[in-house]
Structure 1
Amino acid sequence: MAPVAFRDVRKAFGSVEVLHGVSIDIEEGQFVVLVGPSGCGKSTLLRMLAGLEHVTGGEIVIGDRVVNALPPKERDIAMVFQNYALYPHITVAENMGFSLKLKGVSKREIAERVKPAAEILGLAHLLDRYPRQLSGGQRQRVAMGRAIVREPQVFLFDEPLSNLDAKLRVSMRTEMKNLHQRLRTTTVYVTHDQIEAMTMADKIVVMHDGIVEQVGSPLELYDRPNNLFVAGFIGSPAMNMLTGRVDATDRTKFKTGDGRVLPVGAPGRAEPGRELVYGVRPEAIRLGGDIPLTVEVVEPTGSETHVVARLGASEMTCVFRERISAGPGEELRVSFDPSAVHIFDAKGGERLSA
């Protein structure tokens, strides 16, 4: 395993710059997830780390080597792609050991390295099968096994679960997390799914339009988003946001555009007269209180009840642990947890609350 560093990395396709000076430090053994919407540059950054894209500017470092000019085979990395990229005409065992065969490793050593990897991934009974005889989840494990037997310094994953159904994605997330905890190999993982990022990462890098918006642990990003983009992107259901200003005489009160007064726990740098955005996560809304919501949709999920309602002209999503009997058009009285309220600058998007 080895640390990885991106130092002011830039990428341009012709006259179009898609990465604008990205700097990230990844510690040895960390599981780091690059997350963001389509087109944000996360896959391009991963491909540059793998040596599949040329670096326009800056440096990429693996261990103590600047790898900008090194071909992929000399970077000591292993990459797992979205489409698995298995050879259909050879067996699972041969797929897993193929890269070692190309290096001239003996058959005996290949078998010695394939066997424990197959046991870790639950593939030992499938080694003689061909990819067409496997399920999607099994094929994904074969692709992971092929990476493991190479014993690289860094694992790279490019949206490896996107072709799986919802239930299998959940189980594969758990398998991959367990695998990383056993191997402790430095891992860089790309996804657009923030739930994958939250559940799997030691550290998340949120990207948007070719820049890094915020880097931190999953709960750091969830509890203290740096700006409106991160606040809206991390969390499902998404954070509720309302525009307005803090009260001129009491900064612990926020007045929305239609005159409603909401509580603020720690307004920080939110000054009266400044146009602001008030953010509250769905689970920070509690039943009982003096804030009236008009119910639009009730979605029971079993353990929770999701309610879409209106506060004046604004739509709000609430997540309650309690069962809700209210129907569309009925009123719910709720309260907001002031300590969980976030205040952002409406123009620049920066976080202002403490």
Structure 2
Amino acid sequence: MSSVEIRHVTKSFGLAPIIKGVSIDIQDGEFVILVGPSGCGKSTLLRMIAGLEDISGGEIRIGSRVVNNVPPKDRDIAMVFQNYALYPHMTVAQNMAFSLKLKRSPQGEIDERVARAAEILGLKPLLERFPRQLSGGQRQRVAMGRAIVRDPQVFLFDEPLSNLDAKLRVAMRAEIKALHQRLKTTTIYVTHDQIEAMTMADKIVVMHDGIVEQMGAPLELYDRPANLFVAGFIGSPAMNFIKGNVGSNGFKAESGQTFPLAAAPAASDGRPMVYGIRPEHIRLTDEGVPVEVVVIEPTGSETQIIVRPAGERDKPVADHSSAITCVLKDRIAARPGDMIRVMPDPTKLHLFDGKTGGRLN
């Protein structure tokens, strides 16, 4: 096991900058997830750590060693890809043992390591099968087993669950987290799925357009997002954003509604702001803000409703400048078109600068 230090790393393809001076410290044994939308640079950064992409500038250390010019095979890392990359003509046991055979490890050591990995991942009954005889989840476990037998300093995962169905992704999330808790190996994991990031990571690094927007523990990012991008990306359903400014009676939205404030930032009167409130922090009450129900989505344990001011009923539901999403624990009898009243919890709100997007409260 080892720490990973990324210092002012840049990457350009021709004249196009992709990674723009990223610095991240990853502690020994830590599970870090790089998350962000497609094209943000997270997979490129992972490939640079692995040695599969050259570094344009900066420095990457694995342990005490600078690995900028070290070949991938000598970095003592193991990578699990999205597409499994199993050899179809080899059995499960042969696939898992292949890297050790290339190193000419003793056969007894190979058998011991394969047996240990198979025990950890529940693959013992499948060792003589070929990849074509396995399910998607079983193939992913074989790919993980192939990484485990190498006993590397660092595990690298590149969106390993993207090809699995929703139910299997949930199960595999738990398996990967349990695997990390057992092995305690430093792990860097790339995904675009913020639910994976929230449920699995010790630390999340949110990337956007080649830079790090914020890094920290999952609940730290959820409770205190640094800016509008992080606030909108972390959390499902996404945080509601309402444009307006602070007035004498609270937050005055552009739609004309007034929303409650626990406290206003200094020198904020009339300043353009964005009022952020998560869907689960809105409740129904007779004293709330009047809105029209647009969509009701019952999920069983919760009811998700989308509402908006009555005067903006002609705007599409996808227009987040007017729509407000609420997640309610109770079932409601309302129907689309009905008028109800909602009240955000003022102690849970987030205020952002209307121009820079930075957090204010």
TM-score normalised by length of structure 1: 0.97
2:252 to 250, 255, 261: 255
Q: 1:219 to 1:84 in 2, by over 3 A?
A: same
Contact 1:269 1:352 in 2 (8 A): no
Offset of 1:232 from its aligned partner?
0.6
Offset of 1:272 from its aligned partner?
1.2
CA distance, structure 2, for counterparts of residue 307 and residue 350 of structure 1: 28
Offset of 1:270 from its aligned partner?
6.4
Contact 1:154 1:185 in 2 (8 A): yes
Root-mean-square deviation (CA, aligned residues, Å) is 1.0
Offset of 1:108 from its aligned partner?
1.2
Cross-structure match for 2:270? 273
Offset of 1:258 from its aligned partner?
2.5
Cross-structure match for 2:194? 194
Other structure's SS at 1:232 match: helix
1:291 to 268, 289, 292: 289
Offset of 1:331 from its aligned partner?
1.6
Cross-structure match for 2:315? none
- Note the alpha carbon deviations across 1:54-109, whole angstroms, 9 max, x for none: 00000001111110010001110000000000001011001011100000001111
CA distance, structure 1, for counterparts of residue 186 and residue 101 of structure 2: 24
Q: 1:209 to 1:98 in 2, by over 3 A?
A: same
Cross-structure match for 2:279? 282
Other structure's SS at 1:343 match: strand
Q: 1:269 to 1:18 in 2, by over 3 A?
A: farther
1:81-120, aligned counterparts within 5 Å?
Answer: 81-120=81-120
1:306-321, aligned counterparts within 5 Å?
Answer: 306-312=304-310, 313=312, 314-321=322-329
**Counterpart amino acid of residue 351 in structure 2:** I
CA distance, structure 2, for counterparts of residue 22 and residue 86 of structure 1: 32
- Note the alpha carbon deviations across 1:119-158, whole angstroms, 9 max, x for none: 1101010000000100000000000000001000000000
Q: Where does structure 2 lack aligned partners over 5 or more consecutive residues?
A: 313-321
TM-score normalised by length of structure 2: 0.95
Cross-structure match for 1:340? 348
Aligned pair count? 350
Offset of 1:346 from its aligned partner?
1.3
Contact 1:78 1:155 in 2 (8 A): yes
**In terms of mean alpha carbon deviation, does 238-247 or 287-296 score higher?**
287-296
**Counterpart amino acid of residue 270 in structure 2:** G
Offset of 1:9 from its aligned partner?
0.3
Offset of 1:268 from its aligned partner?
3.2
Offset of 1:259 from its aligned partner?
2.1
Cross-structure match for 1:220? 220
**Counterpart amino acid of residue 272 in structure 2:** E
- Note the alpha carbon deviations across 1:235-279, whole angstroms, 9 max, x for none: 1101111100011x45xx110113211112243356112111111
**Counterpart amino acid of residue 262 in structure 2:** G
Q: 1:78 to 1:270 in 2, by over 3 A?
A: farther
Other structure's SS at 1:90 match: coil
Contact 2:290 2:339 in 1 (8 A): yes
Contact 2:251 2:260 in 1 (8 A): yes
Contact 2:92 2:129 in 1 (8 A): yes
Other structure's SS at 1:19 match: strand
Contact 2:255 2:309 in 1 (8 A): no
- Note the alpha carbon deviations across 1:19-54, whole angstroms, 9 max, x for none: 110000011111000000000000000000000000
Contact 1:275 1:346 in 2 (8 A): yes
Cross-structure match for 1:302? 300
**Counterpart amino acid of residue 85 in structure 1:** A
Identical-residue share of aligned pairs (%): 68
CA distance, structure 2, for counterparts of residue 215 and residue 259 of structure 1: 36
**Counterpart amino acid of residue 282 in structure 1:** P
CA distance, structure 2, for counterparts of residue 267 and residue 209 of structure 1: 31
CA distance, structure 2, for counterparts of residue 311 and residue 212 of structure 1: 35
Q: 1:240 to 1:95 in 2, by over 3 A?
A: same
Cross-structure match for 1:352? 360
Offset of 1:197 from its aligned partner?
0.5
Contact 1:267 1:352 in 2 (8 A): no
Offset of 1:292 from its aligned partner?
1.4
Other structure's SS at 1:267 match: coil
Contact 2:155 2:186 in 1 (8 A): yes
Cross-structure match for 1:16? 16
CA distance, structure 2, for counterparts of residue 91 and residue 179 of structure 1: 23
Offset of 1:347 from its aligned partner?
1.2
**Counterpart amino acid of residue 271 in structure 2:** R
Contact 1:87 1:95 in 2 (8 A): yes
**Counterpart amino acid of residue 144 in structure 1:** M
**Counterpart amino acid of residue 310 in structure 1:** R
1:3-152, aligned counterparts within 5 Å?
Answer: 3-152=3-152
